[in-house]
Amino acid sequence: MAPFKLSVAWSLSVCLCLCPHSTSAQLRQNYYANVCPNVESIVRNAVRQKLQQAANATVPGTLRLFFHDCFVQGCDASVIVASTASNKAEKDHPDNLSLAGDGFDTVIKAKAAVDAVPSCRNRVSCADILAMATRDVVALAGGPSYAVELGRLDGLSSTAASVNGRLPQPTYNLNQLNALFAANGLSQADMIALSAAHTVGFSHCGQFSNRIYNFSRQNPIDPTLNQSYAHQLQGMCPRNVDLQRAIDMDPNTPQTFDNMYFKNLRNGMGLFTSDQVLFTDPRSKPTVNTWAGNSPAFQTAFVSAMTKLGRVGVKTVRNGNIRRDCAAFN
């Protein structure tokens, strides 16, 4: 999930002005029971078909898409909107250029499957389809399945400028991570659980090359990085390599959603500074140790964090609608 960042609410007044509000009152399970009762199975089948085509990119791509959407203007599918001649949209901000096309394609295909049912056509939001698809890719990759609250509407704006400062950077320390997540109503435990999305997917050499070549004058290799792992990374990302070369985030089980992420952190094998700091900082280390040894506890925390994340910035009829095309405003 390569950018994974958030900012803290220094005061209530600042948060009210700058932070997306959690508007969860309209969300509920089985929201579409009367208009599209089979929507969850329709989306799940579309996701399953997409995984058969490109599983390795679809799982992390969809998961990252949901996170990047919710952290910028809330969970409103604004990250899916395409730029036009008069508007540079969220997806074209530098922090979103690495979002995998397969994540977008998963939502587009699921939307088409839902709209193919006459009673469902234009009745289910793109934001809700993304939330359901995210749950499904996690479950189909070996992670927990969970009930998804529904009832989001799609946002009416999408600008690249709105992304600035809203997503975590791979160099963030614990204070910066906690601040950014707190601005979205998420706790440190939520942040650690959501960071474990890095148990699937890949990053690019340019995102961590400083840790293996020029961390500091005294230590060219980041001393918190497992030295054997650092040399492996140097072999995969030699100097002057294409900085877009893809490297698995989890070197052990990169296609499985599990708690290996935390085991890797204990072994100094967090790919980003923002990953490894969760183990090196004594404030977060106990949680990492607990979840490294207790997968059910991690899964419970992840479900809780995803549910809270899904409540961020939910749009109502005053500032949202149901898009006919997820990539374009009505």
* Catalytic residue positions, numbered: 68
Reduce the DSSP state of residue 4 to 3 states and report it.
Answer: coil
Residue 170: strand, helix, or coil:
coil
Q: Which residues of 135-149 are buried (b: 16+ CB within 10 A; e: fewer)?
A: bbbbebbebbebebb
Which residue is associated with the tokens 């997306």?
A: 20
In degrees and rounded to multiples of 5, residue 192 shows phi and psi of: -65, -40
> For 114-118, which contacts have Cβ atoms below 8 Å and span 24 or more sequence positions?
114/36, 114/39, 114/42, 114/43, 114/46, 117/36, 117/38, 117/42
Residue 198 to residue 1: CA distance in whole angstroms: 6
| Residue 14 zone, left/alpha/beta (φ > 0; ψ -120 to 50; rest) | alpha
- For 59-95, b where at least 16 C-beta lie within 10 A, e where not — what string? bbbbbbbbbbbbbbbbbbbbbbbeeeeeeebbbbbeb
Nearest by Cα to 208 from 10, 17, 2: 2
Q: Report the C-alpha gap between 175 and 182 in whole angstroms.
A: 10
Residue 271 makes CB contacts below 8 A (sequence gap 6+) with 198, 203, 207, 208, 233, 247, 249
Taking the C-alpha atoms of residue 286 and residue 308, their distance in angstroms, rounded to an integer, is 22
